[in-house]
Amino acid sequence: MSEFPTKTEVVVIGAGIAGTMTAYQLAKRGVPVVLCEKGRVAGEQSSRNWGWVRKQGRDPREIPAIIESLRIWEELEKEIEADVGWQKGGTLYIAKDDDDLAYFEHWLGFARDYQLDSRMLSPDEVDELTGSEGRKWKGGLYTPSDGRAEPAKAAPAVAKAVERLGGTVLTGCAVRTVESAAGKVTGVVTEKGTIACQAVVCAAGAWSSLFSGNLGHAFPQLKVKASVLRTKPAPLITETSVSSPGASIRRRQDGGYTMARSGNSYFEIVPDAFRYFRSFLPALNTSMKPRLRVGGAFFEELVRPKRWNGDQVTPFEQTRVLDPTPHQGTLREVLAAARTNFPQLGQLEIAETWAGMIEVTPDAIPVWSGVDNLEGYYIATGFSGHGFGMGAATGLLMSELVMDGRARVDLSPFRLSRFTDGSKLELNAR
């Protein structure tokens, strides 16, 4: 590593897809930027996700941004001259019953408003797209222009591009706090020293509320654990990412499949759960349907400090990489469902299992926002289980917000103050 940078214009906290893409867009504009990561690039959610990059099924408020995101993903490999595993294979949700079909029709109303290429598929068309014979599902919702990328490759490739453009990427470098004077950001204190700057973007994933809380800007954010498996190489049946009852599958570059299922998440009861319980009640009833658990995290978070100074060791240094244990029972069920739904995949074998902590907001849409009373402090987080696909737009929109004071899409639904200004939170997740 070159010399520790004591001065820059913007510090970005967190080298997941949101932080790397933000640093990339800033560096592209010629803005001096330092990206600080407490662990390793994409160590948390951004390397652990399914890799779906989709417009399909989105909250309508996110659609203008996800259109921008897809546009960037499509050009990214050429632009940064690196492999991120991009493939435009589409997204398919298979309907198991009439309720699913009705929901898909309802969502298509939003797709039409934005002229998306999403459409319903007949049972025969679902069979054809998935190489099935005689499965005759009820039908499906299909968006051919959606895509996928390899989570393990994307953020690391973007971080390298940041460095090529003159930005600095510091790993193993937790940001402890932000310094300010007269209500304006003046710098950050990291575990390795202080960096003077004019703006800070907190893209700290599951840690964003804790970090911002120390500055007086906590917001409702909880974590749910989701487990994933990848198989050994198996026949290519479709390039489309498919959500089927009990098993969602995505073809991988290595010839295997990444598999999991929606609604397989576990929500650990932690002290913040009591603090934010009322705000999250509607979200707990959506298709995410996390099962409730009490585990060691309760006591860990109970004793975790909520306030600290820049000269103290922080929770960010104490947990370099959030690496939860996968739920093997759930994953065995996923594999069994995949075998039943797609017998044409043959004898599927598990190559690896893992889990990730998804951070959610009560209305399941992100925060892309500045904050009151601290000029130069911005937050990009709360992606609620679908921020990998949105990562490219996050970078663009945050770079515009920081540098121009506004972004090309309306960011008002994503303002932080929606949690405190008396607004009724709207939840569109199913």
Ligand X SMILES: Cc1cc2nc3c(=O)[nH]c(=O)nc-3n(C[C@H](O)[C@H](O)[C@H](O)COP(=O)(O)OP(=O)(O)OC[C@H]3O[C@@H](n4cnc5c(N)ncnc54)[C@H](O)[C@@H]3O)c2cc1C
Interface with ligand X (CB under 6 A):
13-19, 36-39, 43-46, 48-52, 174-175, 203-207, 211, 226, 228, 316, 356, 358, 381, 383, 385-390
User: Which CB atom, from 104 or from 266, has the smaller least distance to ligand X?
Assistant: 266
Are residues 426 and 365 in contact, defined by beta-carbon separation less than 8 angstroms? no
User: Which CB atom, from 100 or from 150, has the smaller least distance to ligand X?
Assistant: 150
Give the nearest distance from C-beta 320 to ligand X in angstroms.
7
User: Which CB atom, from 356 or from 413, has the smaller least distance to ligand X?
Assistant: 356
Using the Cα atoms of residue 268, residue 273, residue 277 and residue 279 in order, give the sign of their dihedral. Answer: negative
Q: Which residues contact 358 (CB under 8 A, 6 or more apart)?
A: 45, 206, 223, 224, 225, 226, 265, 384, 385
Distance CA 138, CA 69 (A): 31
Q: For 137-148, what is the HEC assignment?
A: CCEEEEECCCEE
Torsion, Cα 281 283 287 292, to 10 degrees, reads -50
Are residues 198 and 185 in contact, defined by beta-carbon separation less than 8 angstroms? yes
Distance CA 367, CA 3 (A): 33
Give the nearest distance from C-beta 176 to ligand X in angstroms.
7
User: Which CB atom, from 256 or from 356, has the smaller least distance to ligand X?
Assistant: 356
Give the nearest distance from C-beta 75 to ligand X in angstroms.
18
**Residue whose CB is nearest to ligand X in the complex, by number:** 16
Are residues 230 and 258 in contact, defined by beta-carbon separation less than 8 angstroms? yes
User: Which CB atom, from 76 or from 105, has the smaller least distance to ligand X?
Assistant: 76
Give which of 112, 60, 56, 54 is closest to 426, Cα–Cα.
60
Give the nearest distance from C-beta 244 to ligand X in angstroms.
15
Distance CA 380, CA 366 (A): 7
User: Which CB atom, from 204 or from 402, has the smaller least distance to ligand X?
Assistant: 204
User: Which CB atom, from 30 or from 212, has the smaller least distance to ligand X?
Assistant: 212
Give the nearest distance from C-beta 48 to ligand X in angstroms.
5
Buried b (16+ CB within 10 A) or exposed e, 253-287: beebbbbbbbebbbbbbbbbbeebeebbeebbebe
Give the nearest distance from C-beta 212 to ligand X in angstroms.
10
Are residues 225 and 327 in contact, defined by beta-carbon separation less than 8 angstroms? yes
User: Which CB atom, from 95 or from 360, has the smaller least distance to ligand X?
Assistant: 360
Give the nearest distance from C-beta 124 to ligand X in angstroms.
27
Q: Which two tokens stand for residue 182?
A: 């007269």
User: Which CB atom, from 110 or from 211, has the smaller least distance to ligand X?
Assistant: 211
Give the nearest distance from C-beta 207 to ligand X in angstroms.
4
Give the nearest distance from C-beta 122 to ligand X in angstroms.
26
Q: Which residues pair with 125 in a beta bridge?
A: none
Are residues 100 and 243 in contact, defined by beta-carbon separation less than 8 angstroms? no
Between strands 33-36 and 168-170, the pairing is parallel
Distance CA 175, CA 201 (A): 11
Give the nearest distance from C-beta 145 to ligand X in angstroms.
15
User: Which CB atom, from 18 or from 283, has the smaller least distance to ligand X?
Assistant: 18
